[in-house]
Amino acid sequence: MKGTQLGEFEEIVLLTIALLYDDAHSIAVVEKLSQRLERPISLGAVHRTMQRLEEKGLVISRFGEATPERGGRRKRLFTITIAGEQSLREVRHIRNELWEGIPKTAFDHLT
Amino acid sequence: MNRKNKTHQDPPGWAERLLARITAPHIREEVLGDLYELFQKRVQRYGYMKARLLYVLEMLLLLHPRLWRKQAQSAHLYTKPTDYSTPNPLVMLSNYVKIALRKLNRHKSYTLINVVSLSLGIACTILIFTLVKYHLSFDTFHANQDRIYRIYTELHTEKVTYSTGVPSPMGEAFQGGYSVAEEVGRIAFFKKRVVSVSPEKKFEEDIAFADPDFLSIFNFPLIQGNSKIALQERNTALITDRIAKKYFGTQDPIGKLLRVDNSLSVRITGILQNLPPNTDFHTEIYIPFSNLQEHSPWIVEKDWWLGFNKEMQCFIRLKPGVSAATVDSRILTAISNKYYDKEMAKQFRFKLQPLADVHFNPKLRGYTEKKNLWTFALIGFFLVVTACVNFINLATAQALGRSREIGVRKALGSQRGAIFWQFITETGLIAGSALIIAFGLAYVALPFVNQWFDIELSLNPLTDTDLLVFLLLLLLVVIFCSGAYPGLILARFQPVLALKGKLSQQAVGGFSLRKGLVVTQFAISQLLIIGTLIITNQLRYSQQADMGFRKDAIVILPVPDNKKSKINTLGAQLSEMSGVENVTFFDTPPATEFLGSTSFRFDSRPKAEAFNISIKSADHQYIPTFKIPILAGRNLNPSDTIREYLLNETAVKSLGLASLQDVIGKSATINGRSGTIVGVIKDFHFKSFRVAIEPLCLTTWGEVYNSCGVKVNPANLGPTLSGFEKAWKAMYPSSIFTYRFLDEDIERFYKLDNMLLRLIQAFAAIAIFVGCLGLYGLVSFMAAQKTKEIGVRKVLGASTASILWLFGKEFFRLLLVAFMLAAPLAWWLMDRWLNNFVYRVELGAGIFILAILITLIVALLTVGFRSVKAALMNPIKTLRTE
Task: Considering only the beta carbons, identify the residue of A45, A56, A63 that sits closest to B76.
Answer: A56
User: How far is B398 from B507, CA to CA, in rounded Å?
Assistant: 13
Residues of chain A with C-beta less than 8 angstroms from the C-beta of B30 = 26, 73-76
- How many degrees, rounded to 5, is the angle at CA B687 between CA B684 and CA B690? 105
The terminus-to-terminus CA distance of chain A in angstroms comes to 40
DSSP code string of B129-150: HHHHHHHHTTT--STTGGGEEE
Q: Decide if A31 is inside a domain.
A: yes
Whether B86 has a pLDDT exceeding 60, the answer reads no
Residue A41 contacts residue A50 (beta carbons within 8 Å): no
Helix, coil or strand: residue A64: strand
Query: Could B78 and A27 be called an inter-chain contact, meaning their C-beta atoms sit closer than 8 Å?
Result: no
DSSP code string of B194-236: EEEEETTEEEEEEEEEE-THHHHHS---EEES-TTTTTTSTTE
Residues of chain B with C-beta less than 8 angstroms from the C-beta of A45 = 61
User: How far is A45 from B878, CA to CA, in rounded Å?
Assistant: 74
Confidence of residue A98 (pLDDT cuts 50, 70, 90): very high
Query: Could A55 and B1 be called an inter-chain contact, meaning their C-beta atoms sit closer than 8 Å?
Result: no
pLDDT score at B735? 80
- How many degrees, rounded to 5, is the angle at CA B161 between CA B159 and CA B162? 155
Confidence of residue B860 (pLDDT cuts 50, 70, 90): confident
Confidence of residue B680 (pLDDT cuts 50, 70, 90): very high
Residue range B548-602, pLDDT digits in tens: 888 888 888 888 887 888 888 888 888 888 888 889 998 888 888 777 777 888 8
Number of neighbouring beta carbons within 10 Å of residue B816: 13
Residue A88 φ/ψ region, left for φ over 0, alpha for ψ in the -120 to 50 degree band, beta for the rest:
alpha
Residues of chain A with C-beta less than 8 angstroms from the C-beta of B3 = none
Residue B749 contacts residue B593 (beta carbons within 8 Å): yes
Q: Is B38 on the interface with A (CB under 8 A)?
A: yes
In DSSP terms, B418 is beta-bridged to: none
Residue B746 contacts residue B685 (beta carbons within 8 Å): no
User: How far is B568 from B585, CA to CA, in rounded Å?
Assistant: 10
Whether B309 has a pLDDT exceeding 90, the answer reads no
Domain range for A91 is 8-102
Report the candidate in B667, A73, B746, B777 with the shortest Cα–Cα distance to residue B769. Answer: B777
User: How far is B249 from B42, CA to CA, in rounded Å?
Assistant: 95
Residues of chain B with C-beta less than 8 angstroms from the C-beta of A42 = 58, 61-62
Residue range B617-639, pLDDT digits in tens: 899 889 988 889 999 888 988 88
Helix, coil or strand: residue A49: helix
Helix, coil or strand: residue B549: coil
Residue range B515-543, pLDDT digits in tens: 888 888 888 888 888 888 888 888 888 77
Helix, coil or strand: residue B350: strand
Residue among A4, A26, A56 with most chain B CBs within 10 A, to mutate? A26
3-state SS record for B367-429: CCCHHHHHHHHHHHHHHHHHHHHHHHHHHHHHHHHHHHHHHHHHHCCCCHHHHHHHHHHHHHH
Average model confidence (pLDDT) for chain A? 85
In chain B, the percentage of residues whose pLDDT exceeds 90 is 10
| Top-confidence range, B170-184, B285-299, B629-643 | B629-643
Q: Decide if A3 is inside a domain.
A: no
Residue B312 contacts residue B168 (beta carbons within 8 Å): yes
Report the candidate in B662, B670, B606 with the shortest Cα–Cα distance to residue B644. Answer: B670
Residue B125 C-alpha, separation from nearest chain A C-alpha, in angstroms: 51
Average model confidence (pLDDT) for chain B? 84
Q: Is B23 on the interface with A (CB under 8 A)?
A: no
Helix, coil or strand: residue B726: helix
Q: Is B33 on the interface with A (CB under 8 A)?
A: yes
Residue of B nearest to A48 (CA): B66
Provide mean pLDDT across the span A38-53: 87
Report the candidate in A100, A27, A75 with the shortest Cα–Cα distance to residue B30. Answer: A75
Confidence of residue B463 (pLDDT cuts 50, 70, 90): confident
User: How far is A53 from A76, CA to CA, in rounded Å?
Assistant: 14
Distances (CA, A) of B708 to A94, B298, B552: 128, 22, 15
For A33, how many CA atoms within 13 A lie in the half-sphere containing its CB? 24
pLDDT score at B89? 56
Q: Is B56 on the interface with A (CB under 8 A)?
A: no
Residues of chain A with C-beta less than 8 angstroms from the C-beta of B63 = 44
Between residues B533 and B510, the one the model is more confident about: B533
Query: Could A26 and B78 be called an inter-chain contact, meaning their C-beta atoms sit closer than 8 Å?
Result: no
Whether A111 has a pLDDT exceeding 70, the answer reads no
Q: Decide if A1 is inside a domain.
A: no
Q: Decide if A70 is inside a domain.
A: yes
pLDDT score at B30? 84
pTM of the model: 0.71
Contacts of residue B861, defined as CB under 8 A and 6 or more positions apart, other chains included, come to B772
Helix, coil or strand: residue B682: coil
pLDDT score at B63? 84
Residue among B19, B28, B34, B63 with most chain A CBs within 10 A, to mutate? B34
Query: Could B66 and A47 be called an inter-chain contact, meaning their C-beta atoms sit closer than 8 Å?
Result: yes
pLDDT score at B473? 93
Task: Considering only the beta carbons, identify the residue of A27, A56, A60 that sits closest to B34.
Answer: A27
User: How far is A43 from A73, CA to CA, in rounded Å?
Assistant: 17
Q: Is A69 on the interface with B (CB under 8 A)?
A: yes
User: How far is B92 from B90, CA to CA, in rounded Å?
Assistant: 5
* Pair type for strands B600-602 and B614-617: unpaired
Residues of chain A with C-beta less than 8 angstroms from the C-beta of B58 = 42-44
User: How far is B680 from B694, CA to CA, in rounded Å?
Assistant: 14
Quote the number of domains for chain A.
Answer: 1
Whether B80 has a pLDDT exceeding 50, the answer reads no
Helix, coil or strand: residue B561: coil
Contacts of residue B757, defined as CB under 8 A and 6 or more positions apart, other chains included, come to B532, B535, B536, B539
Report the candidate in B510, B527, B514 with the shortest Cα–Cα distance to residue B814. Answer: B514
With 0-12 / 13-18 / 19 or more C-beta atoms within 10 angstroms meaning exposed / middle / buried, residue B626 is buried
Number of neighbouring beta carbons within 10 Å of residue B591: 22
Task: Considering only the beta carbons, identify the residue of A44, A52, A69 that sits closest to B61.
Answer: A44
In chain B, the percentage of residues whose pLDDT exceeds 70 is 95
Report the candidate in B178, B645, B150 with the shortest Cα–Cα distance to residue B358. Answer: B150
- How many degrees, rounded to 5, is the angle at CA B550 between CA B546 and CA B551? 90
In DSSP terms, B348 is beta-bridged to: B155
- Assign residue A74 the CATH number of its domain: 1.10.10.10
Helix, coil or strand: residue B798: coil
Helix or strand run (H / E) with residue B239: strand B236-240
Query: Could A75 and B79 be called an inter-chain contact, meaning their C-beta atoms sit closer than 8 Å?
Result: no
For B873, how many CA atoms within 13 A lie in the half-sphere containing its CB? 23
pLDDT score at B39? 87
Residue of A nearest to B38 (CA): A27
Whether B476 has a pLDDT exceeding 90, the answer reads yes
Q: Decide if A2 is inside a domain.
A: no
Residues of chain A with C-beta less than 8 angstroms from the C-beta of B82 = 63
Q: Is B464 on the interface with A (CB under 8 A)?
A: no
Q: Decide if A107 is inside a domain.
A: no
pLDDT score at B76? 43
Residue among A25, A29, A73 with most chain B CBs within 10 A, to mutate? A73
For B865, how many CA atoms within 13 A lie in the half-sphere containing its CB? 12
The terminus-to-terminus CA distance of chain B in angstroms comes to 52
Give the dihedral of Cα atoms B780, B782, B783, B785; nearest 10 deg: 120
- How many degrees, rounded to 5, is the angle at CA B688 between CA B687 and CA B690? 120
User: How far is B262 from B25, CA to CA, in rounded Å?
Assistant: 90
Q: Is A32 on the interface with B (CB under 8 A)?
A: no
Q: Decide if A96 is inside a domain.
A: yes
* Pair type for strands B696-699 and B667-670: unpaired
Residue of A nearest to B77 (CA): A55
Whether B79 has a pLDDT exceeding 50, the answer reads no
User: How far is B104 from B423, CA to CA, in rounded Å?
Assistant: 12
* Pair type for strands B580-586 and B707-712: antiparallel
Q: Decide if A27 is inside a domain.
A: yes
Distances (CA, A) of B768 to B181, B379, B382, B761: 54, 13, 11, 10
Residues of chain A with C-beta less than 8 angstroms from the C-beta of B31 = 47
Residue B101 contacts residue B414 (beta carbons within 8 Å): no
The predicted complex's ipTM stands at 0.85
Whether B69 has a pLDDT exceeding 90, the answer reads no
pLDDT score at B104? 86
Residues of chain B with C-beta less than 8 angstroms from the C-beta of A76 = 27, 30
Report the candidate in B690, B602, B605, B606 with the shortest Cα–Cα distance to residue B651. Answer: B602
